Chains A and B, each alone.
Chain A
């Protein structure tokens, strides 16, 4: 045994009661993943969104954030687990949720806004505060496989003012509760606390009518760009997955067509 190894053993032995394996690197476990229900996105993410950490999806309006989150929640609720949707702007459409095949009984919906919003620039602090507190309570109680914190309508100047300590607290709570926190925002705000950071963008525009048919909105193509994934360094992802995935979303009536 080399002297370095002997010293290491000696140090670890003396610290064993206080810090177990103080000088040995902790092997990182491959995180459990939840499928998003979109095969292209799953392929990009190496299987889905990670459980027990924060996944952030940022993008402007009409870039598919809500459709992506609904598809993910649908896949999780269909597996039998319970999920929660913290709706800062009270914007979730139950019809869209049902169309995404979410098991509605397994989705706890928390609706924040009670008062009439006059302008979008009005200060959303009371609603945001309620939402952050409600998410805290959900994470502390545990038992939810995924929690979506939907801040899509909160302006970037407000969302970025949420203290970093909040996201840090969420990260720890999510890890303990084994809950996937999905954050929908206009601009990234969880910074380094998000294990997975995605940017959503519109893909090429699909026209309402083609070949002179009656105009009909049939769906949209969206792009998800992977900006950061803490879990990609794990051994199971030897082959680097693509950084960008394009996926389609269809309206309910185009399915019938």
Chain B
């Protein structure tokens, strides 16, 4: 059995509820981008005065005694939330009916013990909706669509006994079936005014004239249209949030971690009940003074392990501590399918994902955010152009790289160290570096390199490879001359 409640002229009801001054006046609601605003609905008084949907704002304004007000979608959203809440009190299985805002269908099977028979339930439902500030028609029927049509067509409460849907729909006008304009005109031309008259037509004849849409209308008119209910379910992701207000401001992180542990535990239980894991934790700390401190902990792989998650939270909050005492905390999570890996005895060694996350968080705390990770070369001509990326062990797989001879490594000076250079015929002959005097024993260059000439970040330099010799030291270095700053510096040492 289905109970359907239908608040007629929902948008107008919401407007009148939110703005009490409109209740005793004729008003029309307009919507759309100015200046092309059109009337979308009007209350009974305004309709009597001549206002109707589809009029332009200007046309509505010239009707005497009719106030033109703008529709506020936010009010309708909050009104829908109220109606949804009322529906939830009567049944756990609710479906929002398409093309009819504010209309909800409730599966009331097994609710007799709580609310009495169908008529009693329908009356109680209507009373509850009226207490919430809305007028609604309530209909109960065995067939979903029959209940919807009844609620749209009959005022107050109507109950169709099982098997008598066609009889209950018999006298209702055709518009409750929601036909298209074309279909309504056709039926009008045939002299068919009610659902009963439509149901009396032969189905095959109707299909041959109107098409397959006629079959559906015929089924609706007989109260026999099939419908698979899709109950609305609360979003699981939205439920993954925990809030806690503190009795007094907390400045230390340690007591906070006790609360975070409890909240993480609750979230994990919820997530695990759906065989999922936590992919992201978002902490919002409401601070003394009205500020908010937001942190996001995103493990490389979805985790189900509470100690690991808690340790990551702790390390992140220790690395980025809040600036003031904490008044309220909020912890929300994002779920994902847990990480599953088939380990093998003969696979190469790789860090365990959970432990690796904690290790990286500890290292970030020790060294800084940008100082830990894997390196990725940039597609750039500038020497040593790279970016740090988060380190995550890729699946252990042997890679067959072409084997070359061993490459000479350059140890880079970051930042480049300025040196004094003595020149003979534009080539360096002596270098003074770190308080030591080196003689240039061999030299190769200059290699002139430049890039990004099209932007402000353009650069150019002359690079030299030099073998430097001091009294007791010898090293091969790359030195460079920047023509803009007229400065010599050491880029690195070959080692």
Contact = CB atoms under 8 A, between A and B. Distances in A.
Interface of A: 37-38, 60-68, 70-71, 74, 77-82, 89-101, 103-114, 116-117, 119-121, 130, 133-134, 137-138, 141-145, 152-153, 178, 202, 205, 207-209, 214-217, 219-220, 247-252, 255
Nearest to A144: B351
A41 to B, nearest CB: 9
B495 A63 contact: yes
B475 A61 contact: yes
A117 B433 CA distance: 13
B381 to A, nearest CB: 11
A11 to B, nearest CB: 38
Contacts of A249: 405-409
B401 A95 contact: no
Contacts of B492: 91, 93
A92 to B, nearest CB: 7
Contacts of A60: 473, 475
Contacts of A62: 474-477, 493-495
B414 A91 contact: yes
A130 B367 CA distance: 7
A90 B442 CA distance: 27
Contacts of A105: 374, 394
A117 B475 CA distance: 20
Contacts of B165: none
Given A61-B495, A62-B476, A79 B375 contact: no
Contacts of B476: 62, 217, 220
Given A143-B351, A209-B444, A217-B476, A96 B372 contact: no
Given A68-B406, A91-B413, 9 more contacts: A70-B409, A91-B492, A93-B384, A93-B492, A141-B358, A142-B355, A143-B352, A143-B356, A208-B442
A67 to B, nearest CB: 4
A19 B121 CA distance: 80
Contacts of B351: 82, 141-144
Given A60-B473, A95-B377, A130 B348 contact: no
B403 interface: yes
A255 B349 contact: no
Contacts of B371: 110-112, 114
Interface residues of B, number: 67
Interface in B188-237: none
B384 A90 contact: no
A154 to B, nearest CB: 13
A37 B355 contact: no
B284 interface: no
Nearest to B401: A101
Contacts of A116: 415
20 contacts: A67-B407, A78-B401, A79-B348, A81-B348, A82-B393, A93-B409, A109-B374, A109-B388, A134-B367, A137-B359, A143-B350, A143-B352, A144-B351, A152-B411, A202-B474, A205-B467, A248-B405, A249-B405, A249-B407, A250-B408
Given A37-B406, A113-B414, A114-B368, A108 B391 contact: yes
Contacts of B406: 37-38, 67-68, 71, 100, 247-250
B467 to A, nearest CB: 7
A50 to B, nearest CB: 15
A112 B367 contact: yes
A250 B405 contact: yes
Contacts of A80: 347-348, 350, 396-399
A65 B396 contact: no
B383 interface: yes
Contacts of A215: 442-445
B367 A144 contact: no
Interface string B390-434: 010110111111111111111111110100000000000000001
Contacts of B1: none
A35 B444 CA distance: 34
Interface string B69-97: 00000000000000000000000000000
B375 A104 contact: yes
Contacts of A92: 411-412
Nearest to B476: A62
Contact of A96 (B391, B409, B413): B409
Contacts of B493: 61-62
Nearest to A255: B404
Contacts of B475: 60-62
B411 A98 contact: no
A134 B408 contact: no
Given A107-B374, A251-B407, A178 B359 contact: no
Which of A38, A92, A117 has the most chain B CB atoms inside 10 A of its CB? Answer: A92
A108 B445 CA distance: 34
A95 B349 contact: no
Given A62-B494, A79-B398, A215-B444, A94 B409 contact: no
B173 interface: no
Nearest to B351: A143
Contacts of A250: 404-408
A103 B397 CA distance: 11
B360 to A, nearest CB: 8
Contacts of A95: 377, 383-384, 386, 410
B465 interface: yes
A99 B474 contact: no
A31 to B, nearest CB: 15
B377 A94 contact: yes
B435 interface: yes
A219 B411 CA distance: 15
Given A137-B362, A220-B476, A98 B348 contact: no
B53 interface: no
B101 interface: no
A209 B398 CA distance: 39
Contacts of A144: 349, 351
A38 B404 CA distance: 11
Contacts of A99: 407
B373 interface: yes
B171 interface: no
B353 to A, nearest CB: 10
A94 B348 contact: no
B267 to A, nearest CB: 26
A114 B366 CA distance: 12
Which of A78, A89, A93, A216 has the most chain B CB atoms inside 10 A of its CB? Answer: A93
B376 interface: yes
Given A94-B377, A217-B476, A106 B393 contact: yes
Contact of B412 (A70, A91, A101): A91
